[in-house]
Structure 1
Amino acid sequence: MVELIGATLVLFAGTMIGWQQAARYAARPKQIRQLIHALQRLETEIGYGFTPLPEAIARCAAHVPEPAASILRAVNGRLAGGGELTFRESWEAAMTEAWPNTAMRQTEQAALVRLGHNLGISDREDQMKHLKLAVQQLQFEEDAARLDSARYVKMWRSLGVLTAALIVILIL
């Protein structure tokens, strides 16, 4: 009886690990799309609304879903926190702080860090150009993430179940 309960728990745990890894692959394209939407909103706020950068970031954070909203809120919080940090430092610190809560990879983070190096130090048109470039880079990453998702989601689900089944067989 104890062996049956143990085997069931091992099978359940292995299956959940596989499903969790598959969920990360499935969430990555969606999160990149949300980030693209946030950057496009930021571009609109800066370019057509003539909104100052901290206020534009706060407005965008209020209208985009998580995890993009948490990244923008972290940037805004650091900017409003006292002014000892530059925009670039605030942006990088927020990326480092909020990134582990996403399913995105280092390539997306690198594109956003590069964007943070250029925002706030130039005129409105130049900032819009940098935002468009970041959106293009993220769209490329989104396409790659969709291919990875299609390829690896089923594999991780099956791998979790099959690995757990192998462990159960070896234990029994």
Structure 2
Amino acid sequence: MIILKIIGCTLIVLSSSLIGYIYGKSYKERLENLIYLENCIKILETEIMYGANPLPEALENVYKKGNKKVSFIFNRISQALKEHKSGEVLECFLMVSDTMKKNLNFKKEDVEVFTNLGRTIGSSNRKDQEKSFKLILAQIKALQKEARLEKEKNEKMFKNLGFLSGLAIVIILL
């Protein structure tokens, strides 16, 4: 009987610790993905401004050169642009917004900054696009700063909270 209690208590503490670890990890992943997104947008800027590539081709090149953890979004946008010959760029950017929230742990503000890129890209001249890229990259830097603060504040807290809540449950059950 004692062995069953020990095994049960261990499972409770391990499972609650795992839940805390998963919640804490989401803050770390958001920061990493924002950094990868910034790099992908810089690659896109280079492809458009200096490579003078058409948008679908530039997006495909971003997919090839960027970190696959985030750059798959650009491939989906490129595929959507090729399928929808109408050229509605914003619509293609909005198609991936749900994927960004679910798979990349992005918040609504993060996705909004990315869709702002879809509003301006391809619909203005080079000077305006260059200004737009600089603005969006500055906004992403601010989001990274915010994500870094949240990570430092919450990641360790959730890990500790998971372990301590499991310990509290075990104490209550005994």
Contact kept in structure 2, 1:54 and 1:76, CA below 8 Å = yes
**C-alpha displacement at 1:146, in angstroms?**
0.9
Q: Deviations over 1:45-75 (max 9, x none)?
A: 1111111111111101111113321211221
Q: Deviations over 1:80-137 (max 9, x none)?
A: 2243562110111122234310122111111111221111211222222212111100
State the one-letter code of the partner of 1:129. Answer: K
- Which residue of structure 2 lines up, in the alignment, with residue 62 of structure 1? 64
CA separation in 2, counterparts of 1:136 and 1:8? 47
Contact kept in structure 2, 1:10 and 1:164, CA below 8 Å = yes
Q: Deviations over 1:1-47 (max 9, x none)?
A: 33222221111111011111111112222211111111111111111
CA separation in 2, counterparts of 1:78 and 1:170? 55
Q: Which of 7, 10, 16 is matched with 2:9 structurally?
A: 7
2:78 counterpart of 1:79: no
The 1:66/1:171 distance shift into structure 2, 3 A limit, reads farther
Fraction of identical pairs, as percent: 28
The 1:102/1:6 distance shift into structure 2, 3 A limit, reads same
- Which residue of structure 2 lines up, in the alignment, with residue 154 of structure 1? 156
Q: Deviations over 1:130-162 (max 9, x none)?
A: 121111000001011111111112111100100
- Which residue of structure 1 lines up, in the alignment, with residue 45 of structure 2? 43
Contact kept in structure 2, 1:78 and 1:94, CA below 8 Å = no
State the one-letter code of the partner of 2:64. Answer: A
| Structure 1 portions without partners, runs of 5+ | none
Q: Which of 146, 154, 165 is matched with 1:144 structurally?
A: 146
Give me the CA root mean square deviation: 1.5
The 1:15/1:167 distance shift into structure 2, 3 A limit, reads same
- Which residue of structure 1 lines up, in the alignment, with residue 165 of structure 2? 163
State the one-letter code of the partner of 2:76. Answer: A
Contact kept in structure 2, 1:46 and 1:128, CA below 8 Å = no
Alignment of 1:21-36 (within 5 A): 21-36=23-38
- Which residue of structure 1 lines up, in the alignment, with residue 119 of structure 2? 117
CA separation in 2, counterparts of 1:57 and 1:131? 14
State the one-letter code of the partner of 1:148. Answer: E
| Structure 2 portions without partners, runs of 5+ | none
Contact kept in structure 1, 2:100 and 2:106, CA below 8 Å = no
Q: How many pairs were matched up?
A: 172
CA separation in 2, counterparts of 1:26 and 1:101? 13
Contact kept in structure 2, 1:71 and 1:95, CA below 8 Å = no
